[in-house]
């Protein structure tokens, strides 16, 4: 019997759309779950995935992928690779492992929701693969660090972080709940698969894979670049969804979904990827700066594709986003290093003389702005007064992104007009924001966000006892063997003295 080509049967097997006669369409696809935006059923049936795959092909590919990464893992474990890695690089992968694996499981909930409430059979088919993909990512990224726990107790936070009230975990949950755990099918397709996955995840999963291979961390590089092969496919749910919306006069709605999640993605990746690339990755192995990776993956590749679909750059692109590329993550780094006991990895200061030269080259003006603060820190460390570089108070946290507000930093280096947070009165209370855009996102849907308590709100509400740094560390689940310390035991500060002599 002649074997059929896939394209001869593909449409038949995946186009299982039908009209409902015994139930109301709105009951099958409630607006809260589907968000059809009034686009009629037949219009949704035009949804056509660009990246086509049958279930049979899916299973073949996935076995191949897992065989590949697990065999590399088994070889590198035998070679005791982890012990040979730079301490800053280890911090980068611990930050990744704490922030990512459990949210992958949450993403599978979002995919499963699209697999049920997506408005076209073709879409539901792709989302089913997506749900399986995300389960794979959760499993692999929990298992790889699990086998490193005996070498490094901070690896335990790969599975633990998202179950704690650590501030980064609160920020991650707030974002991921907004984007997929508590989101409808259409918004998930636009915000998770299009904005987050076609756009931003490449920064972390491929940008860091680029650095991993230079560093010699074959295991991490092979793992995250393999994960991204799933993402490259299931992220393709976003484009056909966008096409249906645009074809049916819903461009403004789609644009707003992207504008919101582009900013939120920028915030979280500045924190995770920005610090890892520009401060934690050993200098000799850095291929590009965070800003250069942003230019490649977001400003060129993602925006090329987005604009090609007739969409516009977010409204705050020139005014707020582009200027932040030069400073925002540097400010976050300063804060994360200072509040290092509050994170589950060991922040690498990354400001030895050679590293500062690199920062000045990649971000002209760094020495005259951020460098001045690091001068003070360096001086204190040299005098044996590292205790002065540790926190006794709390930062103010943004009521949208849940990341500490660094407007005073932005103001001090001449990037913001005022040092105070962006504020909003709503239902009799004051909310604080790190940026005009986080405030705009909150104002767009205050009913969605207003009830959430930031970690500082919880402190003020008496939920954190005693209300001290120690009490907060206990509330966040951080124990002494986990709390972050300087990754290099301050060697960088003394390297500078030698260079100056």
Partner 1 sequence: MKTVEKLEEGLVGPVLRGVDADIIDAVIAAAEIDNPDREVVVEDRGGYVRVHARGRFRLTRETMERILGRPFELRELEPSLSAFAGHVETGDEEWVWRLHTAAREG
Question: How far apart (Å, rounded) are the C-alpha atoms in residues 232 and 222?
Answer: 15
Q: Per rule CB under 8 A, is residue 300 in the interface with partner 1?
A: yes
Q: Per rule CB under 8 A, is residue 2 in the interface with partner 1?
A: no
For partner 1, which stretch binds (CB under 8 A), given 3-11, 29-37, 418-426, 465-473? Answer: 3-11
Q: Per rule CB under 8 A, is residue 296 in the interface with partner 1?
A: yes
> Contact 453/461 with Cβ under 8 angstroms?
yes
Q: Per rule CB under 8 A, is residue 50 in the interface with partner 1?
A: yes
Q: Per rule CB under 8 A, is residue 75 in the interface with partner 1?
A: no
The nearer residue to partner 1, 91 or 202, going by C-beta atoms, is 202
Q: Per rule CB under 8 A, is residue 239 in the interface with partner 1?
A: yes
The nearer residue to partner 1, 307 or 383, going by C-beta atoms, is 307
List binders of partner 1 among 451-480 (CB under 8 A): none
Q: Per rule CB under 8 A, is residue 15 in the interface with partner 1?
A: no
Q: Per rule CB under 8 A, is residue 77 in the interface with partner 1?
A: no
> Contact 424/430 with Cβ under 8 angstroms?
yes
CA distance readout (Å), 319 to 36, 262, 284, 325 = 32, 15, 34, 12
Q: Per rule CB under 8 A, is residue 221 in the interface with partner 1?
A: yes
CA distance readout (Å), 155 to 22, 190, 339, 414 = 53, 33, 20, 39
> Contact 162/169 with Cβ under 8 angstroms?
yes
Site of tokens 């006794």 = 392
The nearer residue to partner 1, 115 or 210, going by C-beta atoms, is 210
CA distance readout (Å), 342 to 66, 450, 493 = 34, 25, 22
Size of the site for partner 1 (CB under 8 A): 47
What the block records as the tokens of 470 is: 């120690």
Q: Per rule CB under 8 A, is residue 39 in the interface with partner 1?
A: no
> Contact 294/272 with Cβ under 8 angstroms?
no
The nearer residue to partner 1, 296 or 360, going by C-beta atoms, is 296
Q: Per rule CB under 8 A, is residue 204 in the interface with partner 1?
A: no
For partner 1, which stretch binds (CB under 8 A), given 148-156, 221-229, 336-344, 355-363? Answer: 221-229
What does residue 255 show for φ and ψ, rounded to 5 degrees? Answer: -60, -40
Question: How far apart (Å, rounded) are the C-alpha atoms in residues 103 and 159?
Answer: 10
The nearer residue to partner 1, 227 or 398, going by C-beta atoms, is 227
For partner 1, which stretch binds (CB under 8 A), given 268-276, 295-303, 313-321, 380-388? Answer: 295-303
Q: At what angle do helices 491-500 and 353-362 cross, to 10 degrees?
A: 90
Q: Per rule CB under 8 A, is residue 222 in the interface with partner 1?
A: yes
Q: Per rule CB under 8 A, is residue 161 in the interface with partner 1?
A: no
In the list 25, 152, 177, 292, the residue contacting partner 1 (rule: CB under 8 A) is 292
Q: Per rule CB under 8 A, is residue 135 in the interface with partner 1?
A: no
For partner 1, which stretch binds (CB under 8 A), given 285-293, 353-361, 409-417, 422-430? Answer: 285-293
66 exposure class (CB count in 10 Å sphere: 0-12, 13-18, 19+): middle
Strand pairing category for 422-426 and 429-433: antiparallel
For partner 1, which stretch binds (CB under 8 A), given 96-104, 112-120, 198-206, 393-401? Answer: 198-206
For partner 1, which stretch binds (CB under 8 A), given 62-70, 94-102, 267-275, 418-426? Answer: 62-70
Residue 424 DSSP SS3: strand
Question: How far apart (Å, rounded) are the C-alpha atoms in residues 295 and 276?
Answer: 17
Q: Per rule CB under 8 A, is residue 40 in the interface with partner 1?
A: no
Q: Which of 127, 105, 108 is nearest to 116 (CA)?
A: 127
In the list 17, 181, 301, 468, the residue contacting partner 1 (rule: CB under 8 A) is 301
Question: How far apart (Å, rounded) are the C-alpha atoms in residues 125 and 178?
Answer: 24
Question: How far apart (Å, rounded) are the C-alpha atoms in residues 216 and 194?
Answer: 31
Q: What is the DSSP letter of 432?
A: E
Can you give the binding site for partner 1, defined by CB under 8 A?
A: 5-7, 50-53, 57, 60-61, 64-65, 68, 72, 202, 205-206, 208-214, 218, 221-222, 225-226, 228-229, 231-233, 236, 239, 287-288, 292, 295-296, 300-301, 304-305, 307-308
């Amino acid at each position: 019997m002649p074997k059929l080509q896939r394209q001869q049967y593909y449409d038949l097997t995946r186009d299982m759309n039908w009209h409902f006669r015994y139930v109301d369409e709105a009951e099958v696809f409630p607006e809260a779950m589907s968000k059809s935006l009034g686009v009629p059923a037949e219009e949704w049936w035009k949804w056509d995935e660009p990246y086509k795959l049958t279930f049979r092909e899916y299973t073949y590919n996935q076995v191949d992928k897992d065989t590949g990464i697990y065999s590399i893992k088994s070889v590198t474990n035998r070679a005791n690779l982890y012990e040979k890695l730079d301490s800053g690089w280890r911090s980068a992968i611990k930050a990744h492992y704490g922030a990512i694996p459990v949210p992958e499981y949450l993403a599978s909930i979002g995919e499963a929701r699209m697999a049920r409430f997506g408005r076209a059979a073709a879409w539901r088919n792709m989302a089913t693969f997506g749900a399986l993909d995300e389960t794979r990512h959760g499993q692999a990224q929990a298992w790889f660090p699990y086998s490193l726990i005996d070498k490094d107790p901070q690896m335990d936070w790969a599975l633990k972080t998202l179950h704690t009230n650590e501030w980064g975990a609160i920020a991650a949950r707030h974002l991921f709940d907004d984007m997929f755990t508590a989101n409808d099918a259409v918004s998930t397709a636009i915000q998770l698969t299009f904005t987050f996955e076609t756009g931003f995840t490449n920064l972390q999963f491929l940008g860091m894979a680029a650095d991993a291979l230079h560093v010699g961390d074959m295991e991490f590089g092979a793992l995250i670049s393999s994960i991204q092969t799933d993402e490259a496919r299931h992220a393709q749910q976003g484009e056909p969804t966008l096409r249906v919306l645009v074809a049916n006069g819903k461009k403004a709605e789609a644009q707003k979904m992207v504008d919101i999640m582009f900013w939120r993605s920028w915030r979280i990746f500045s924190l995770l990827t920005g610090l890892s690339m520009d401060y934690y990755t050993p200098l000799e192995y850095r291929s590009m700066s965070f800003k250069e990776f942003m230019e490649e993956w977001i400003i060129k590749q993602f925006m090329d594709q987005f604009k090609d679909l007739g969409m516009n750059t977010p409204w705050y692109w020139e005014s707020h986003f582009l200027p932040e590329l030069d400073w925002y993550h540097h400010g976050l780094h300063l804060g994360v290093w200072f509040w290092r006991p509050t994170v589950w990895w060991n922040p690498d200061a990354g400001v030895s003389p050679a590293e500062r030269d690199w920062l000045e080259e990649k971000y002209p003006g760094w020495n005259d702005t951020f460098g001045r603060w690091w001068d003070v820190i360096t001086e204190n460390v040299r005098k044996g007064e590292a205790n002065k570089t540790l926190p006794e108070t709390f930062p103010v946290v943004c009521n949208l992104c849940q990341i500490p507000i660094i407007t005073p930093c932005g103001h001090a280096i001449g990037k913001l007009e005022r040092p105070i947070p962006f504020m909003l009165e709503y239902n009799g209370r004051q909310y604080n924001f790190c940026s005009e855009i986080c405030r705009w996102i909150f104002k767009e849907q205050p009913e969605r966000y207003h009830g959430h308590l930031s970690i500082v709100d919880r402190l003020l509400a008496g939920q954190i006892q005693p209300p001290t740094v120690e009490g907060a560390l206990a509330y966040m689940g951080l124990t002494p063997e986990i709390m972050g310390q300087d990754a290099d035991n301050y060697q960088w500060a003394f390297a500078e003295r030698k260079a100056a002599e």
